[in-house]
Amino acid sequence: MLGRAALRRTGCLAIVAIVVIGLAGCDWPLDRFDAGRTANNPLSGLSTSNVSHLGIAWSAATGGGALIVNGLVLTARADTPGHTGTEALSVSDGSVRWTSDVSVEAVDGGVGYGVRNDLTPGYVLFAVALDTGQTLWSGASQLNTGSVVSAGDGRVYVQTTNGSGHGTMPEMDVWNTSTHQLAWTKLNPLYPLLPAIANGIVYFAENVGEVLDAVDETTGAQRWSTTQQPSCPALTTSPVVSDGYLFWGARPTKPTTAPWSHSGRGSSVPRSITRRSRSREPRSTPRDPPPARTRRTSSPSTGSPAPCTGRMTEFAQPGTRVSASSRLRSSPTMSCS
């Protein structure tokens, strides 16, 4: 299910179930599929040979996007103001299994997690049983509002929007699903981009200065931080972790025609690969060009900074070798305006 803000933007949608024989791997428990935010579901059963034979099994009006798990479609309710709450539909026939006042935004281990911001001055986190829709436990934060952005490995991640004793600066609240208590928080005033989580590390990308932080999933302690071309104004996509690699989109300070560049030789920060997404040169075998200077260029007529071009940066996990192969072919699309 999309986050609450995204749900409000989508308005009233209709879910259409398609009859597919032998469809496998079709669960979608989190926004963008998994905690690494890959948006890649390795399902099977659909192909060019059978797509023309598909038919509509059922349809239902909803209040927004959906999560699909354990034979249920969890979607925002269409019959409530602001499309708050959750309606659980049967994957097989679209019948309503249960409804809840909680907007379930992430699922892990047969439990749905969501918040309500209308019960206290802050938010209340709820854990909901998927088979019944009943509340299993809840925990309250008194000074901020927010929404669940991820869940897994015994933790629930709530992105706040204001408060928590720090003025209007948002933070990430991480809850322990065993103790039902807040495990740790991290102030993130420059983190509107959602984190990616993999192998015990949470990756935060700042939208100013191209800063990437890696923190411990259990304690919230910082593992490492790196800044890429700090004079460039913004990262453009949330980080994505897939197959031992970390990707994010950014805008460099100096346009280039090189299809690839390689940098980084230290051990404290993982080695990086950069791909220039607006290159006009034909694709060629990746090679190591001279490092580009990281400075702003100005237009001779206006004196304004030259526009940034798109770039995708890839980090390997510490201790692994970076391959300049085609790993970026399946990475998320990005653009620079």
122 and 165 Cβ atoms separated by less than 8 Å? no
Tell me which residue range forms the domain holding 263: 195-337
The CATH number linked to 230 is: 2.40.10.480
Number of domains in the chain: 1
Residue 2 lies in a domain: no
Residue 93 lies in a domain: no
Q: 243: which 2 tokens?
A: 């197959």
For residue 308, with 0-12 CB atoms within 10 Å meaning exposed, 13-18 middle and 19 or more buried, which class applies?
Answer: buried
Region 308-315: mean pLDDT is: 40
pLDDT of residue 111 exceeding 50, the answer is yes
Distance CA 301, CA 285 (A): 37
**Residues in a beta bridge with 155:** 152, 176
Residue 22 lies in a domain: no
Q: Confidence class of residue 190 from pLDDT cuts 50, 70 and 90? A: low
For residue 42, with 0-12 CB atoms within 10 Å meaning exposed, 13-18 middle and 19 or more buried, which class applies?
Answer: exposed
Each residue's pLDDT tens digit, 85-109: 889 999 888 899 999 999 898 998 8
Lookup result for tokens 């004196």: 303
For residue 255, with 0-12 CB atoms within 10 Å meaning exposed, 13-18 middle and 19 or more buried, which class applies?
Answer: middle
> What pairing do the DSSP bridges indicate for beta strands 311-316 and 245-250?
antiparallel
Collapsed DSSP state (helix, strand, coil) of residue 128: strand
Backbone angles phi, psi at 153, to 5 degrees: 55, 35
Percent of residues, the chain, with pLDDT higher than 90: 16
Residue 307 lies in a domain: yes
Average pLDDT, the chain: 66
Give 268-333 as a DSSP string. SS--EEEEETT--SPP-----PPPPP----B-TTT-PBPPP--EEEEEEPTT-----SSGGGGSPP
Residue 33 lies in a domain: no
Least confidently predicted of 29-43, 106-120, 163-177, 201-215: 29-43
Residue 140 lies in a domain: no
pLDDT of residue 333 exceeding 60, the answer is no
Region 170-197: mean pLDDT is: 82
pLDDT of residue 20 exceeding 70, the answer is no
Distance CA 7, CA 136 (A): 24
Residue 42 lies in a domain: no
Each residue's pLDDT tens digit, 248-257: 766 655 554 4
Distance CA 126, CA 140 (A): 9
Residue 223 lies in a domain: yes
